[in-house]
Structure 1
Amino acid sequence: MKRTALKIAYIGTHFHGFQRQPNLRTVEEELIYHLRKLDYIDDLKASRFRIAGRTDAGVHSLGNVISFQSEKEVRVNQINNSLPDDIQIIAWAPVRFGFKPRYADMRWYRYILFEDDLDIDLLRKTAEVFKGTHNFTNFTKRKQKTTRRTIEDVVISQPIIDENERNKNNDFAHLNKTYNPIFVDIYGESFLWNMVRKMIRVLLDVNYGKLTIEDLERLLNPKEGEPRAYIKVVEPENLILMDIEYDGIKFRYDDYACERFRRYLADNLFNFQKTYSTTESMLKSLYDLTE
């Protein structure tokens, strides 16, 4: 009997999160159903089925991890042929019997910002405060036994925008702002529930003057007995679990599986572009009709 870890990519749009829930479509439920269907696992306890983490409804992934043991040789593309297109296995690794994907060395999350008037220098200055070990009790949805977490790094970057593309539709400059995203990449060993999305909210609140950096420092160092602060989470749709790393484990990416998921993403993008073009045409025509 061999134990295998699988790296899972999925678009979270049509899932009610990762964790199994009665009568709802979830990533975990789909994985278990198809692994059972293909006779890789039967009883979850006997197969020691484990997951690295639970993403919320709407959150995407390029690197969540599950593991299980099976008498059957794992064939990534056989499983992918059974799975729906919006969830695919892109890499695998043989692991020791006692491997638990929950205990990772590093998790990497990316949140993509599209808001107007973001001061990238201020965002970077604010992000520096998050680095290191802090008490993140104010940054989780529920009370947990241990709320101290270590943020290894927060990297804020902005893709270079082609000025020719930017100026193509000057009549719709207000729409073009959405094509100037800022990436917030957050690295840490583990995260609390909603922690990343609350961190992003505070980054934005400091940017817009709703909070100060001193306020953030107080949120990260709450006094004993102090009631937890309320921090509203940002939308889940812009969050991607990019990768999870483990000491001594090197995942083997399957070229065919990765290309298959790339084609799925490209098809989705093309459909979005068609919808955008149709909407843009209607908008422009409405301006023309009223001139």
Structure 2
Amino acid sequence: MSKRYFIRLSYKGTNYHGWQIQPNANTVQEEVNKALSTVLNQPINVTGCGRTDTGVHASDFMVHFNVSETTQFDCEKLAFKLNRFLPHDIAIKEVFLVNDEAHTRFDAIARTYHYKITKNKNPFRTDSHWNMQYVLDVEKMNEAAKILFDFSDFTSFSKLHTDVKTNNCKIYKAEWTETDDELVFTVKADRFLRNMVRAIVGTLVEVGRGKMDLDGFRKVIESKNRSNAGSSVPGHGLFLAEIEYPESITNS
């Protein structure tokens, strides 16, 4: 018999080739596996709530792992020890016991992403914002974002040749907020397709620059054709910001 635990963590993706382990590349999953295996003195392979691409960040990310029932540890102390072993750009927030069947990927009921654009060149935002100095019509971009609520099939914003069974997603929130020198797009849905957020942002920027009107944005979604959408924006401006789960994952 085994016990299952969730770990809530955050990481800056700049130095990593994404979350998932791959040959000859530094990944976040590999670093977490090494730290856990060292601290618990046994081989551990964590399962993540999803994938992030090269350079993409996560301010809220979940993984789960199993250990035998005979393995004993204090969750708070384990989090402390892991943070001592992990690199400076990966931080453990908490470790907690869940049901044996709880799954970080399949049990998530909502995910929220932020995409950040800086309007001015800023050396302190090089790794966390897309520096894009075009004048954008943010009001028009928000009007276009509302059109997303009318659809469930987002094939037009999906990376081609993925192994998912459906391209349907339910979007709960999609909006731009603006300050003097920053634009942030917030989007929340029950699930996301590969590259979906970056493709949506790239297409909304086309609207903001006046290169696409609202009807054109709607037609892009209706076409279910990735080549009709805008280019994917750079990964370093993207953050996985929140993962939500039902309370039942911790109920006995």
Q: How does 1:136-147 map to 2 (within 5 A)?
A: 136-143=154-161, 144-147=164-167
Could you list the runs of 5+ residues in structure 1 that have no partner in the other structure? 162-179, 252-291
Partner of 1:172: none
TM-superposition CA deviations, 1:237-289 (whole Å, max 9, x none): 111111101011699xxxxxxxxxxxxxxxxxxxxxxxxxxxxxxxxxxxxxx
AA partner of residue 245 (structure 1): E
| 1:203 Cα deviation after fit | 0.5
Assess if the C-alpha contact under 8 Å between 2:199 and 2:229 holds in 1: no
2:130 corresponds to 1:126: no
2:186 corresponds to 1:185: yes
1:156 aligned residue (171, 176, 183): 176
| 1:155 Cα deviation after fit | 2.5
| 1:210 Cα deviation after fit | 1.8
TM-superposition CA deviations, 1:202-226 (whole Å, max 9, x none): 1100111222221221222236xx7
Partner of 2:115: 111
Partner of 1:283: none
Number of residue pairs the alignment of both structures matches? 226
TM-superposition CA deviations, 1:20-79 (whole Å, max 9, x none): 1111100011111111112265254xxxx3210100101111111101122232410111
Partner of 2:66: 69
Measure, in 2, the Cα distance between the counterparts of 1:69 and 1:41.
11
Match of 1:219, SS state, is helix
Match of 2:60, SS state, is strand
Measure, in 1, the Cα distance between the counterparts of 2:173 and 2:116.
16
TM-superposition CA deviations, 1:179-224 (whole Å, max 9, x none): x11111110111000000000001100111222221221222236x
| 1:92 Cα deviation after fit | 2.9
Partner of 1:34: 35
AA partner of residue 197 (structure 1): R
Q: How does 1:1-291 map to 2 (within 5 A)?
A: 1-39=2-40, 41-42=42-43, 44=45, 49-70=46-67, 71-73=71-73, 74=75, 75-103=78-106, 104-114=108-118, 115=132, 116-143=134-161, 144-159=164-179, 161=180, 180-222=181-223, 229=228, 231-248=230-247
| 1:93 Cα deviation after fit | 2.8
Match of 1:198, SS state, is helix
Assess if the C-alpha contact under 8 Å between 2:36 and 2:44 holds in 1: no
Structure with more of its chain in helix, by fraction: 1
| 1:228 Cα deviation after fit | 5.3
Measure, in 2, the Cα distance between the counterparts of 1:227 and 1:204.
16
Q: Which moved more, 1:64-73 or 1:8-17?
A: 64-73
* Percentage of identical aligned residues: 28
AA partner of residue 242 (structure 2): D
The verdict on how the C-alpha distance between 1:14 and 1:246 changes in structure 2, with shifts beyond 3 A counting, is same
Alignment TM-score, normalising by the size of structure 1:
0.72
Measure, in 1, the Cα distance between the counterparts of 2:25 and 2:205.
32
Assess if the C-alpha contact under 8 Å between 2:160 and 2:226 holds in 1: no
AA partner of residue 33 (structure 2): I
The verdict on how the C-alpha distance between 1:106 and 1:231 changes in structure 2, with shifts beyond 3 A counting, is same
The verdict on how the C-alpha distance between 1:59 and 1:227 changes in structure 2, with shifts beyond 3 A counting, is closer
Assess if the C-alpha contact under 8 Å between 2:171 and 2:190 holds in 1: yes
AA partner of residue 156 (structure 2): N
Measure, in 2, the Cα distance between the counterparts of 1:249 and 1:185.
27
| 1:8 Cα deviation after fit | 1.5
Measure, in 2, the Cα distance between the counterparts of 1:140 and 1:227.
7
AA partner of residue 56 (structure 2): V
Measure, in 1, the Cα distance between the counterparts of 2:51 and 2:58.
11
